[in-house]
Structure 1
Amino acid sequence: MLLVHHYFFTTKKDETPIVLYSPTTDSSVYYVKEQKTQTLNQGMADIVNN
């Protein structure tokens, strides 16, 4: 079984950048969680703020 992660780069209503991911293998439903990897979060913040 192949496990695929889907990443979503977005902002909250207050324009705070956030990276979400879904570790599900069923591509028709995404159960998203906040990404905890600091490198991805900082990269997204740099894109939004610059």
Structure 2
Amino acid sequence: MVDEKTERFEMRVPASFLKMVDEWRRRQPDLPPRAEAIRRLVELGLRAKK
């Protein structure tokens, strides 16, 4: 990824959402922080074929 200017983004989610994110990130070989895990999951979703 090219170095881009980043912007702060906040959102409120239920605890069950964070639990799913935490379960997913624990299965990753590098145990990404929550923010990175959410970025990866969004990218995966955006790239998925419909």
TM-score by length of 2: 0.31
Q: Normalized per residue, which structure has more helix? A: 2
TM-score by length of 1: 0.31
